[in-house]
Amino acid sequence: MPNLRFAETGDAADIAAIYAPVVRETTISFETTPPDEDEMADRIQTTLPTYPWVVCEHDDELLGYAYAGSHRSREAYQWSADVSVYVHRDHRRSGVGNGLYESLFSLLERQGFYNAYAGIALPNPASVGLHESLGFEHVGTYEAVGYKDDAWRSVGWWHRRLRPLDDPEPPLPLTEVPENAVEDALNCGRESIRIT
């Protein structure tokens, strides 16, 4: 059974290997140089413990990862997070992306976040389909916002409400979420993964 857990710096090489082809071979990522192991380790350390970074592993192989980060830096945005998910090319369409996102959203909700936003470089019907199947709705497009591989590229933005709107308390850092709540959140995505 696949395991969902928080990323560690020791996962950096595997995460970099999953992400590198996306950078080199597609316009899905607007990065042009794949980050190396050290850069990925730094990104993991910078993200945790404020926002979750979750990995899916099975039989000592990392199948994919999902993480959240700040939507914007100004204080009134603090209840919104940007999210991303990447799955190893050999394990796409097996529920790994769904499972990772379900656990990530559950963690964000338990922290006190209200909104998740995903930016998708267009066209990318697989990513649009994944996000919309998980309740995201298209809220707008930045037309020709980036230039990669000799062409201008647009980015669509999708939104998912994580919890009903009310008068919010500041979101909790991951370290302040009770351990049993973290475990429940990580476990909630396992049922979506179709790997045994």
Q: Which CATH number characterizes residue 165's domain?
A: 3.40.630.30
> Could you give the percent of the chain with pLDDT greater than 90?
95
Average pLDDT over every residue of 147-176:
97
Reported as a single tens digit per residue, the pLDDT across 60-99 is 999 999 999 999 999 999 999 999 999 999 899 899 999 9
Beta bridge pairs of residue 154: 122
- What is the domain range of residue 161? 3-192
Return the pLDDT at 179: 95
- Residue 161: closest CA among 134, 195, 192, 188: 134
Q: Give the Cβ contact number of residue 6 at 10 Å.
A: 17
Return the pLDDT at 178: 96
Return the pLDDT at 176: 96
The structural domain count of the chain equals 1
Start-to-end CA distance of the chain, whole Å, equals 5
Return the pLDDT at 66: 98
Q: The tokens of 78 are what?
A: 């603090």
C-alpha torsion sign, points 26, 27, 33, 39? negative
Return the pLDDT at 155: 98
